[in-house]
Amino acid sequence: MITEIPREELVAIGSRIRTGYLTEQAGYTLGVAAADGKALTDLLPDGLVDEVKQNVADLDTARQDRALVAAESKDAGRGQVQAFREAKAWRRTVTGRATLAKRMGKPIPDGLVRRTSTASGPALTAQVVEMVRLLETNLDLIPGAGKDELLAQGKALVVQLHATETDHEVKRLNELPDSVQALYVKKALVYTGLKMIHDAGRALHAADPLAASRYNLAILHRRAGVRTHELAPSSTLAPEPAHV
């Protein structure tokens, strides 16, 4: 078993992930993991890599089912995918600007320069709420223009994120066809498994930042419209922050 995260939460996680990007990411990550071989798998739960591979194969099969693809596309249009993407981009902007201020010797709280793992919607919402609070309290310590706009954006995102946790959103996911829910669960399992492989890979190469940087989610999180060949997997890809 990859994870014991409840099924309802897996459905919510999977609903926010692009199937195509995820399978491409899996191909890259599994390739990097294969290169490290037993040294990596020894750090993982028994059978995890094989289970991830099976779920990826299931996703590839599901992508050939036109009815399922159509049902997923219809749901994606009603979801809050964009709000989550914007929230994560906002977090990166805030931590970047806060880190700059900290390098200037300003007493910036850790909550503005560190991002914890937020696989679920409620966790992301809670972190953005806290970051908005800290940003508002320490706004005068952040150098540069656009601070008020950044704070206002964060407050607006909190409203959007809370909307995804309403009874309506839960009802929407629960009313999805069983086939779509099952697809979302598989996507969440693959995503979680890849994150676990990345955790192990970074631990394995803790003394070698370049080798550790190969374990990243740059393909999955690439901007819409960027061609795949522009993000060809290589050891030069920037590492995904360990705390994301």
Q: Show pLDDT as tens, one digit a residue, over the chain (244 residues).
A: 899 999 988 988 888 888 889 999 999 999 999 999 999 999 999 999 999 999 999 998 887 877 777 766 666 545 556 778 888 899 999 999 999 999 999 999 999 998 776 656 678 888 999 999 999 999 999 999 999 999 999 999 998 887 766 655 666 777 778 888 899 999 999 999 999 999 999 999 999 999 999 999 999 987 544 444 434 343 333 333 333 3
Distance CA 21, CA 83 (A): 18
Residue 22's contacts (CB-CB under 8 Å, 6 or more residues apart) are 59, 187, 190, 191, 220
Cα first-last separation, the chain: 23
Break the chain into its structural domains and give their ranges. Answer: 7-78+178-231, 82-163
Distance CA 22, CA 26 (A): 6
Residue (of 7, 49, 36) closest to 194 by Cα position: 49
Q: What is the pTM of this model?
A: 0.61
